[in-house]
Amino acid sequence: MSNPYAADPSAVRGAITPLVTPFTADGSLDLDAIGPLIDWQLDHGTHGISVGGSTGEPTSQTVAERIAVMRAAAEAIDGRVPLLPGTGTALMDETLELTAEAERLGAAAALVVTPYYGRAQQDGLFRWYSRVASEFPDLPIIVYNVPVRAAVDIAPVTVGRLRRAHENIVGIKETTRDFEHVSYVFDEAGTDFIALSGIELLCYPMLCLGGAGHLSCVGNFAPAPVAALYDAFAAGDHERARALHYDLHPLVDAAFAETNPVPAKWVMGRLGLLPSDLGREPLAPLSVVAQDRVRTLLARSSHVELPMKLRA
């Protein structure tokens, strides 16, 4: 399968929605729901699609399931926007298998998370990413730094070493609230290095530092304002971009009322975007307290309108 954005890092820009993975009520993959979700995303201005990231619950899926999701997403996108699939795991063999599939499907780049739980040293991380980059010299690789989930933080100096050692290591997704980190990454790897924000309230600030875009879980249920923030910034309308940054605050708070992606899926279910809002074990359904908090927060926003709460 080919698409015009295949292996093109220059296409990795803007608001890239980190898509939730739909499951049926019995916990099996709902591949039929992926196409309509992607169509709805693109109708509302999303610039790219990512699957297999943290919002997609990858650690609750087999490699075969993750590949099935990638294939369904690539088929639904059909070359309309770039595909940025997450292909990392804690095992090298699985990471290589997933990355090979991403390349075959025409991904713009592969998003490779730091190997989680093992808490590798910096030299271990350098060797890990060097192996992936060497195995796929024609595929752009984006490092995914998410220390809160992976229990390891790739140092800016390590990112710089990787960039100098491998032409196809082209960027980083920064899911850390340490806002100094990306500044040091730019210093080590160059200001032309692709930097994507994975922290919702740092999307606008990272653009100001030279970032290329963002992956915001809020985009799953409110893609239009998330994309509009980037569009305004790219057009030089910083006043509107800054206003949208603050306008998104209640949506961000709603998305993290409990563990991501549980609140996002709950909202999407109420909006009719998902037949089932199930998150796989060990995730639990959204609590009643959190449901009330999400409704209160969304009531402050003009971007999402939930159906009226039915009384018992």
Q: What is the pLDDT of residues 101-159, one digit of tens each?
A: 999 999 999 999 999 999 999 999 999 999 999 999 999 999 999 999 999 999 999 99
302 assigned to some structural domain: no
In a domain, 2, yes or no: no
pLDDT band for 91, please (50, 70, 90 cuts). very high
Residue 84 belongs to domain with CATH number: 3.20.20.70
Whole-model pTM over 0.85: yes
User: Has residue 253 been placed in a domain?
Assistant: no
Active-site entry in 116, 117, 129, 144? 144
Q: Residue 312 — very low, low, confident or very high, per pLDDT cuts 50/70/90?
A: very low
pLDDT band at residue 2 using 50, 70 and 90 as cut-offs? low
173 tagged catalytic: yes
Q: What is the mean pLDDT of the chain?
A: 96
Residue 310 has pLDDT above 50, yes or no: no
Report how many domains make up the chain. Answer: 1
User: What is the pLDDT at residue 156?
Assistant: 98
Annotated catalytic residue, options 173, 204, 230, 265: 173
HEC profile for the chain?
CCCCCCCCHHHCCEEEEECCCCECCCCCECHHHHHHHHHHHHHCCCCEEECCCHHHCHHHCCHHHHHHHHHHHHHHHCCCCCECCECCCCCHHHHHHHHHHHHHCCCCCEEEECCCCCCCCHHHHHHHHHHHHHHCCCCCEEEEECHHHHCCCCCHHHHHHHHHHCCCEEEEEECCCCHHHHHHHHHHHCCCCEEEECCHHHHHHHHHHCCCEECCHHHHCCHHHHHHHHHHHHCCCHHHHHHHHHHCHHHHHHHCCCCCCHHHHHHHHHCCCCCCCCCCCCCCCCCHHHHHHHHHHHCCCCCCCCCCCCCC
Whether 129 is catalytic: no
Among residues of the chain, what percentage have pLDDT more than 70? 98
Residue 105 within any structural domain of the chain:
yes
